[in-house]
Structure 1
Amino acid sequence: MSNILIINAHHPYPFAEGRLNASLVQRASEQLQANGHQTRIVEVDKGWDVEQELAHHQWADVILLQTPVNWMGVPWVFKKYMDEVYTAGMGGALCNGDGRTEAAPKANYGAGGTLNGKRYMLSLTFNAPEEAFDDPQEYLFQGKGVDDLLFPMHMNFRFFGMTPLDTFACFDVMKNAQVENDFVRFQQHLDTQFPAA
Structure 2
Amino acid sequence: MKNVLIVSGHNDLNNSLANTIILENLQNSLPAAEFDFLDKLYPDYEFDVKKEQEKLVKADIIVLQFPIFWYSVPSLMKKWFEDIFIHGFSHGSTGKALAGKTLIASFTTGSPAEAYKHGGMQNYTLDEFLPPLIQLAAISGMNWGGYVHTGGVSYASRNDEAAQKEIKEKSFQHAQRLMEKLTALF
CA contact 1:113–1:158 (8 Å) conserved in 2: no
Aligned with residue 38 of structure 2, among 39, 44, 51: 44
Indicate the residue corresponding to 1:22 in structure 2: 20
Q: Per the alignment, in what secondary structure is the counterpart of residue 194 of structure 1? A: helix
Structure 1 residue 44, shift from structure 2 partner: 1.1
Cα RMSD after superposing both structures: 2.4
Q: Choose from 162, 168, 184 the match for 1:179.
A: 168
Q: How many residues align?
A: 172
SS at structure 1 position matched to 2:141? coil
Q: How does 1:1-197 map to 2 (within 5 A)?
A: 1-12=1-12, 17-33=15-31, 38-45=32-39, 46-47=41-42, 48-87=47-86, 90-91=87-88, 93-95=89-91, 97=92, 113-133=96-116, 135-141=117-123, 144-174=124-154, 175=157, 177-195=166-184
Give the structure-2-normalised TM-score.
0.81
Q: Is the 8 A contact 2:22 2:174 kept in 1?
A: no
* 1:113–1:159 Cα contact (<8 Å) kept: no
Larger proportion of helix: 2
Higher relative contact order (CA 8 A, sep 6+): 2
Same amino acid, percent of matched pairs: 24
- Provide structure 2 residue ranges, at least 5 long, that are not aligned to the other structure: 158-162
Per-residue CA distance 1:45-86 (angstroms, 9 max, x = gap): 121311010000100001000001101111111111111111
CA contact (8 A) 1:8 1:22 kept: no
Larger radius of gyration: 1
Q: Cα deviations across residues 145-186 of structure 1 (Å, max 9, x unaligned)?
A: 223212112211221111122311111112555321331243
Deviant stretches of 4+, over 3 Å: 175-178
Q: Tell me: CA distance 1:78–1:185, structure 2 relative to 1, closer, same or farther (3 Å).
A: closer
- 1:109 equivalent in structure 2: none
Structure 1 unaligned residues grouped into runs of 5+: 101-111
Amino acid at match of 1:32: L
When the two structures are superposed, what TM-score results if normalisation uses the length of structure 1? Answer: 0.77
